[in-house]
């Protein structure tokens, strides 16, 4: 069973930056693609970005395109989400997710493994 642990969350002012990390452990060779989701209070969890575990392809939600960058470091079994120009509406708990298939997916049900989340707070 692959285990995922997020880190890097925190509090920033609007316009600031943060980098989230997701460390994978266990049989990581079974991973095909990874994703980031987020959930704000009172809202449903939503897709943010996805990447093939090989790092060869990426996909972003329109709301973060041009501001967030997803990447993978296979040598470290770690995925990252670099966030720039943060807005108050980006505040949420951010979750990393992994799936065995290599297709980039935006639906929660398509992912097999989940981390517990890391809080991002953005003040205006």
Strands (DSSP E) contained in 1-124 are 3-7, 10-13, 18-25, 33-39, 46-52, 58-60, 68-73, 78-83, 92-99, 113-114, 118-123
Q: What local confidence, expressed as pLDDT, does residue 94 receive?
A: 98
Q: Cα separations (Å) of 101 from 18, 39, 52, 85, 89? A: 28, 24, 9, 32, 31
Q: What local confidence, expressed as pLDDT, does residue 76 receive?
A: 96
Give 81-114 pLDDT, tens digit per residue. Answer: 999 999 999 999 999 999 999 999 999 999 999 9
Which of 123, 118, 53, 51 has the alpha carbon at shortest distance from 87? Answer: 123
pLDDT of 56 higher than 90? no
Q: Cα separations (Å) of 56 from 6, 14, 53, 102? A: 22, 31, 8, 10
Give 8-53 pLDDT, tens digit per residue. Answer: 999 999 999 999 999 999 999 999 999 999 999 999 999 999 999 9
Give 105-114 pLDDT, tens digit per residue. Answer: 999 999 999 9
Residues 6 or more apart whose CB falls under 8 angstroms from that of 75 comprise none
As a whole number of angstroms, the distance between CA 61 and CA 72 comes to: 18
């Amino acid at each position: 069973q692959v285990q995922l642990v997020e880190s890097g969350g925190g509090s920033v002012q609007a316009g600031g930056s943060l980098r989230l990390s997701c460390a994978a452990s266990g049989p990581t060779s079974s991973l095909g693609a990874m994703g980031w989701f987020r959930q704000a209070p009172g809202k449903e969890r939503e897709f943010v970005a996805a990447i093939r575990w090989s790092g060869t392809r990426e996909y972003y939600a329109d709301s973060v395109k041009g501001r967030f960058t997803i990447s993978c470091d296979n040598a470290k079994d770690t995925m990252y989400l670099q966030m720039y120009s943060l807005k108050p509406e980006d505040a949420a708990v951010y979750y990393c997710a992994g799936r065995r298939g290599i297709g980039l997916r935006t639906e929660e049900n398509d992912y097999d493994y989940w981390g517990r989340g890391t809080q991002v707070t953005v003040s205006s």
